[in-house]
Structure 1
């Protein structure tokens, strides 16, 4: 919005208008605006939620401090969504395909989460939106993102540095070529730890021979659907303690912002031997808004929480993280970067599977953890909520550093 205004102001030599052409300036402004919106208007939204008596429904799980949370306003994810969208609309290039996909992701999952919270709060149904409808919504989003990335002419990558492009042949479908640079349109992503760190989803259809490239879009879209659904649900499961999902997501977001910046810069991309993704610099603006929104929300969500994000927020931030990583071709780093989400998810899967197995074998279900997800296990072991959250954040920082380091470990 303001970027379009900048073009007009620059044409009439308006002083300072040129600053809008710099990603660093627009990203900085996005962070500031998101923080201000989350902290200042967040308080107004909390009061509105309180007046509407939109409080958390608490189930008896036998956890310390559980009933103190009863009545705390939920659906606070609205604060995060608003704090992301307004700065992006102001400072982003709204005709950029990546920005369009991120805005679509934010609104789409925000609506699904809002509907789930609405059913829980206003319809007094603790189960909320049926799981199959959540999954259908996530699958549809995955289809939109996957098909757009595969078929849109605006989505290309450069696989080789300018110095190498004239001496080596790129054996993929070529979209644009010059004497200095080759751009390709193919379902290719970065692979950590390997020197020739390229993975083509078409290779999974090797048994089709020459027809693999014709059907590669199916594998790619399925991968996008799986990643989007898994990470979105992982964030949802992690949102069980004050500030846990919010702080963890902020750390992940900062890391993704760094990865987006180096992927959108030809010099850094060449140096780190990763794919240069044209037009992806705008994603830095989006992620800056995301960081500002989650940190600002943490002002009210830290222990003891004044508001919970609910599924409105948790499904949204998880989906944003997943789609963002896919757009910058870093989705294979998700198991490391989102290790907290992964472990939380696995703890539930292991607990449920083992309980069913032992009930079938011994006639009585047994548990590996005192309770799942994992953060509740530590609560029952006697750790305070704030200590658990802080230690999970520390682990998130370690995983973030490890993720960045993988760029140089080949």
Structure 2
């Protein structure tokens, strides 16, 4: 596979634009294609402006030594690119329906997660080691902002379907959780933001998969008829466009990384939109790559600890976790893994759309 993946990134952009145009045509409303295009162009432009500035600030990524040895050459690539991308999606997405208070809540959670990621990235850079905040400290901060978001959403009666706390399931089933939606919502925000964080390990992997899942969520929100949500659909389209524009600078060979600054914000935004639009099931299906990445780490750690012998060594289910490293160490090139995961995400989006009532 060629060393420069620009044609693949452009192809992905055209596929998502085609899906957005198809959604606009089917819904008889130009809600997806315009915010996607505007956000993509602005994000790409901001990236062109920001890459040399991140490099001048010497915000170079620190690569962990225990990772694949081929990644050591990435050391020094500017990180914290999420500071350039995330605000673009939030602003363009907010302009879709500026009077909708739910978009303000989604924006607040997204930017708060970006701030937590930025603190984590900054500490990692200043320590010159691939660890920033402690896992417990980072999780606590995420839980606090997630709880604030859930309180805001519950007060606005935005959680669930017609009745607060109702969760839509396939085949028209409804799960009436009531107040139990609070712990579920907290779990979704934490799980999704950390799953996207784990996925951000190869050039263009998280950005491409994120663009696809945001595009899929936006499309299903426009095709749900009276149960659809044009405002949140437009926000999703803007976020999809943002990550497509970012992908021009994050594709292989990456000129900048999003860092935790971008990956935590990506997952938080996906969780927020899904909670406010009663789209938890579509997110579970369409975001299957993020789920698989997270489960691969959980399984690897659990099996290793459960089988650890007197020598302190346990069995490994995978060659290395997260899952993308397993395929890399199996002989696949970085670009092959990334494109394969993009393809899997596109397939899962189609499955999620097929499950619409």
Tell me the TM-score normalized by structure 1.
0.76
Aligned with 1:378 (options 327, 332, 343): 327
| Counterpart position of 2:36 | 31
| Counterpart position of 1:66 | 71
Match runs of 1:201-216 below 5 Å: 201=177, 216=178
2:111 matches 1:112: no
Q: Unaligned regions of 5+ residues in structure 1, if any?
A: 1-21, 158-183, 202-215, 267-275
2:83 matches 1:78: yes
Match runs of 1:273-352 below 5 Å: 276=227, 280-352=229-301
2:305 matches 1:356: yes
The total of aligned residue pairs comes to 331
CA distance in structure 1 between the aligned counterparts of 2:67 and 2:195, rounded to whole angstroms: 23
Cα deviation for residue 152 of structure 1 reads 1.6
1:74-101 CA distance string (max 9 Å, x none): 0011122122133234x23333122111
Change (3 A) 1:47 1:153: same
Matched-pair contact (CA < 8 Å) for 1:145–1:224: no
Cα deviation for residue 186 of structure 1 reads 2.2
Aligned with 1:234 (options 164, 177, 195): 195
CA distance in structure 2 between the aligned counterparts of 1:289 and 1:313, rounded to whole angstroms: 15
2:167 matches 1:189: yes
| Counterpart position of 1:163 | none
Which region of structure 1 is more displaced relative to structure 2, 108-117 or 59-68?
59-68
CA distance in structure 2 between the aligned counterparts of 1:153 and 1:343, rounded to whole angstroms: 32
CA distance in structure 2 between the aligned counterparts of 1:155 and 1:337, rounded to whole angstroms: 20
Change (3 A) 1:345 1:186: same
Matched-pair contact (CA < 8 Å) for 2:160–2:277: no
1:245-301 CA distance string (max 9 Å, x none): 1111111011100122234x42xxxxxxxxx26xx3211221121011000001111
Matched-pair contact (CA < 8 Å) for 2:158–2:276: no
CA distance in structure 1 between the aligned counterparts of 2:217 and 2:31, rounded to whole angstroms: 17
Matched-pair contact (CA < 8 Å) for 1:92–1:99: no
Structure 2 counterpart SS, 1:122: helix
Cα deviation for residue 27 of structure 1 reads 4.5
Change (3 A) 1:370 1:348: same
Matched-pair contact (CA < 8 Å) for 1:64–1:379: no
| Counterpart position of 1:44 | 49
The structure having more radius of gyration, on CA atoms, is: 1
Cα deviation for residue 132 of structure 1 reads 1.7
1:202-229 CA distance string (max 9 Å, x none): xxxxxxxxxxxxxx32x11111000110
2:142 matches 1:138: yes
CA distance in structure 1 between the aligned counterparts of 2:348 and 2:315, rounded to whole angstroms: 31
| Counterpart position of 1:99 | 103
| Counterpart position of 2:353 | 404
CA distance in structure 2 between the aligned counterparts of 1:23 and 1:131, rounded to whole angstroms: 46
| Counterpart position of 1:168 | none
CA distance in structure 2 between the aligned counterparts of 1:23 and 1:110, rounded to whole angstroms: 34
Cα deviation for residue 61 of structure 1 reads 3.0
Runs of 4 or more above 6 Å deviation: none
Change (3 A) 1:349 1:407: same
* More helix by percentage: 2
CA distance in structure 2 between the aligned counterparts of 1:31 and 1:398, rounded to whole angstroms: 20
Cα-Cα RMSD:
2.1
Match runs of 1:163-182 below 5 Å: none
Aligned with 1:388 (options 337, 345, 353): 337
